[in-house]
Chains A and B, each alone.
Chain A
Amino acid sequence: MNWNDPITRRQSLKRLARIWAGLTGVAAVGGYPFLPPARAKAEAGDGKLIVEGVAANKDYETRELIAKVFEAAGGMGRFVSKGDVVAIKPNVSWARSPELAATTNPEVLEAVIELCLDAGAKKIRIADHTIHDARRCFALTGVGQVAKKTGADLVFPRPSLMKEMRLHGQRLDVWPVFVPLVEADKVLNVPVAKDHGLSTLTLGMKNWIGAVGGRRSALHQDIHQTIVDLAQFFKPTLTLIDATRIMTKNGPSGGSPADVAVKNTVILSNDQVAADAKACGLFGYGPEEIGFVRLGQKWGLGTYDPQRVTQKKVVL
């Protein structure tokens, strides 16, 4: 082909079409990677464990409680490797001060990040798609301060970070996802346990509603199944439920200290269903009473059968 000859518009269009067709063909053969590379699955089957940490002494150090719980689980090094990029998903949906238990306790968050850093994590990213204005949420819940103290990245839910992905769910197919919570080596879910008007409780799996974009308010029309769909898509390495303070009514936003019960408890598990099931007990519910926990077991995300999960308890 002689590129110096002048060509007509028609010829140039033809050429472009040919190049385009060629490229499409190459892409098709190469199987353009639409999905992010699958993460190493959390330890399957037998490696499942759950650790409940309770501080009997009221003047406990949160850092110590978290450290003991991870120690009982075999140490953070078992889950987070050297050089990992770790994404942490707290629940800081509401611009509320930490005492109101509407959001993850910043002390718990800080302790977890420190353990990750000790385990050699290269980078920690804290990301949440909040309901209230993210700037105010990050400021008032203390998560901004935690990020500043520990040097973790605080990722704001910006439009450019929402990307449509295929969830392969029962109810949700394609939905915009908050990318930093997918593109990480390890994902830690650090929710707070609290009351919720529709799903009764919001625990670990429900926290993934804060990891997607789009018209989230529509998810409530089939809340339990969408929660399970999201939980099976995100598959966290670990779930650490913060129940140091729990919100027992007026959830999920609360707003009064009267809604809060102090439990001084945290629950750590590599099985999200098991973690949520254990946390149900704090509110006086059985796991089968909460729709998304029941569905989680049904679709094989995990189990609340105590026989199939190694149970441990730490009392401080």
Chain B
Amino acid sequence: MKARHLVWIRRISQTLFLGLFLVLLVESRLPEDVYLEYSLYFSGDADIRLDQPVTFFFDLDPLVWLTSLLSGHGLVHGFGWALGVLVLTLLLGRAFCGFICPFGTIHHAVSWFRPPLKGRAMVQANQKTPAQRIKYLLLIAILVSAVMGLNLAGLLDPISFLFRSLALAVVPALGVGIKGIFDVMAASDIKLLNYLSYGGEVLVSPVFGYGYPAYKTAWFIGLVFLTIVFLNRIRPRFWCRVLCPLGALLGICSRFSILRLEKDHEKCTNCKLCSKTCLGAASPAPGQDWENAECVLCFNCFHACPEGALSFRFRWSPKMNRRPDMGRRAVLTGLAAGVSLPLLTGLDSQAHHVSDPRLIRPPGALPEKDFLRLCQRCGLCMKVCPTNAINPTLGEAGWAGFWTPHLIMTQGYCEYTCTLCGSVCPTGAIAEISAREKIDRPIRIGAAYVDRGRCLPWSGNGPCIVCQEVCPTSPKAVYLNKEAVPAKDKATWLVDVPRVDLKRCVGCGICETKCPVRGKPAISVIAAGESRSIENQILLPDLAP
């Protein structure tokens, strides 16, 4: 096959997969046109599910599969795809990096659009450096940590990284910006602008989210993303060369690949065009040993060579490819980090014993330890949550749980019959449950308590029953009693005051969201009582049926 064709096939494949990634990202939402046939659902509670396979790229990712296996001792559903990618890598090398990976494509596009250097400087920059060993260090640290029960893969896995950055930071930031424009138009007294703002809102809401979600720590997620993209100004595909642990894993597997770069020393005129265009710093020039573990199979060298001195050939030989240059120091540091990080996270093991009251996990989340072993921090649950309740943690879950999901009830609440988050979790850290199960067991995520000092009726400031009104359980967990409370200028005042029945409360938090006292509501939910934890219970188990 001609080099030109190969390069074009690569470009088309990259575009298609990046497009697919973005489509699936946009589709990871509760659509606005889920019209259930009501006669079918006349009884019982319907579970709304997404039509698209939104976890496809996570299924493809061997690092997600491997760390879930090592750390959570379980197979994630759809792992066959990841095995397929490994087989592909064994045959072809890092074809995933060059042809499929959407994050790689973004770096590739940025590097191609504005090459960081020119001429000889670029040739020099594309020589292999010891810095490229960092990715092996990170991979080893991640895998060893996983074996010891700490799953850090999601922080650096390119699919999780990209999904989190786009879904929680980039897209919402654009959405909030656009909303600003719509708000101005909607507030105008010019009828046409009102219509335009409404039309615009209908048009963009599938992408930017119905209700324009925003996420805690999103600015930081966005900043990290921008930094990583900016690194392409230093070296092309900096992330893929130096940092990507998945690239490192695939690089190691590519040792057996039968697709090899063959160099014809006779024809080479030493023009260095191959080195200048090489995106992986994989030493393509004749005279150097080709580093197949660094090669992202972009075929640029093949395409650039004016003399036809380079070609990619399928060649079966019993001799394996060159060993990936990991470096002893990187391997040892990786091992040391992999052992010490889990031990260090043990320091906030208090997080497992005394739960942070704000650490309210999504419904169906596994017990904390198992949850952390599987959660990829990808942000898929946060993206699909229709009320924007699920947000990345900062310190609530301890060091090990940075950016894992938790619910902020002042921002949203867990809708009583919604089970969307568990249905999309790529690793099953949040188990898939049905609405019936959620109601009948019931699956509690916390418990509500009333702060009488701020509560309007309790403090003698006025009637209000909003928490009772919105309480979704039947009979209601928030109930009212007529009671005489001390009030200003009156000895007592007879008013309905709310109380919480802990046996019924599931911790959904709608009372906290809708409480008229904003910011620090007079009724709020803490994680105590969550059904996933044995220790974190308030009441003795009820044995009566």
Q: A217-B515, A253-B472 are in contact. Are A159 and B182 (CB under 8 A)?
A: yes
Residue of B33, B202, B210 near A144 (CB, 8 A) is B33
Q: Is A141 an interface residue (CB 8 A)?
A: yes
- In the complex, chain A residues 201-217 whose Cβ is within 8 Å of any chain B Cβ: 215, 217
Residues A98 and B42 in contact, CB atoms below 8 Å apart: yes
Contact B514 A131 (CB under 8 A): yes
Bound-complex Cα distance A144 to B34 (A)? 8
A136 touches B418 (CB 8 A): yes
As a 0/1 sequence over residues 28 to 45 of chain B, the CB contacts with chain A under 8 angstroms (1 = contact) are 001111111110011111
Q: Which of A156, A252, A253 has the most CB of B within 10 A?
A: A253
**What A residues does B37 contact at CB under 8 A?**
145
Cross-chain contact A131 with B464 (CB below 8 angstroms)? no
Q: Are B468 and A197 in contact (CB under 8 A)?
A: yes
- The segment from A42-50, A113-121, A255-263 that touches chain B is A255-263
> Which segment, of B14-22, B91-99, B155-163, B474-482, faces chain A?
B474-482
- Given A156-B210, A197-B469, verify A145-B464 contact (CB < 8 Å): no
Residues of A within 8 A of B189 (CB): 32
Which residues from chain B contact A196 at a C-beta distance below 8 Å? 469
CB of B465 within 8 A of CB of A142, answer no
| Residues A221 and B210 in contact in the complex (CB < 8 Å), given A139-B36, A159-B186 | no
22 pairs, CB–CB < 8 Å, chain A vs chain B: A95-B415, A98-B38, A133-B30, A133-B418, A134-B210, A136-B48, A136-B418, A140-B46, A141-B38, A144-B33, A156-B202, A159-B182, A159-B186, A161-B186, A163-B186, A198-B465, A221-B456, A221-B462, A223-B463, A253-B474, A256-B474, A256-B475
CB of A316 to closest CB in B, whole Å: 20
B217 within 8 A of A: no
Task: Tell me the bound Cα distance from A134 to B210 in angstroms.
Answer: 9
Residues of chain B having any CB pair with chain A under 8 Å = 30-38, 41-46, 48, 179, 182-183, 185-187, 189, 194, 197-198, 201-202, 205, 210, 386-387, 415-418, 439, 456, 462-466, 468-476, 480, 496, 514-516
Report whether A136 and B463 are in contact in the complex, using a CB–CB cutoff of 8 Å: no
Q: A135-B32, A145-B35, A218-B516 are in contact. Are A95 and B417 (CB under 8 A)?
A: yes
Query: Which residue from chain A places its CB closest to the CB of B189 in the assembled complex?
Result: A32
Check A159–B415 contact: CB distance below 8 A.
Answer: no
B36 touches A253 (CB 8 A): no
Beyond A217-B516, A220-B464, A253-B472, is A160–B42 a contact (Cβ under 8 Å)? no
A159–B469 CB distance below 8 A: no
A205 to B35, CA, bound (A): 28
Is A81 close to B, CB under 8 A?
no
The answer to whether A220 touches B469, judged by C-beta atoms less than 8 angstroms apart, is yes
CA distance A139 to B41 in the complex (A): 10
Contact yes or no, B474 A106, CB < 8 A: no
Q: How far is the CA of A159 from the CA of B465 in the complex (A)?
A: 26
- CB of A313 within 8 Å of the partner chain: no
B197 x A198 contact (CB < 8 A): no
B514 and A217 form a contact (CB under 8 A):
yes
Residue A185, interface by CB 8 Å: no
The reply on A148 being an interface residue by CB < 8 A is yes
8 Å CB contact of B198 from A96, A158, A197, A258: A158
A198: contacting residue among B415, B476, B496, B515, CB under 8 A: B496
Q: Roughly how many angstroms separate A134 CA and B469 CA in the complex, as a whole number?
A: 18
Question: Least Cβ distance of A192 to chain B in Å?
Answer: 14
Contact indicator A158/B415 (Cβ below 8 Å): no
Residue of B nearest to A134 (CB): B210
| Given A148-B35, A217-B515, residue A255 in contact with residue B472 (CB < 8 A) | yes
Determine the residue in chain B with the shortest Cβ distance to A196: B469
Name the one of B42, B48, B416, B418 contacting A255, with C-beta atoms under 8 angstroms.
Answer: B416
Distance in angstroms between the alpha carbons of A142 and B38 in the assembled complex: 5
- A130–chain B nearest beta-carbon distance, Å: 11
Q: Nearest Cβ in chain A — how far from B179, in angstroms?
A: 7
Q: How far is the CA of A175 from the CA of B186 in the complex (A)?
A: 15
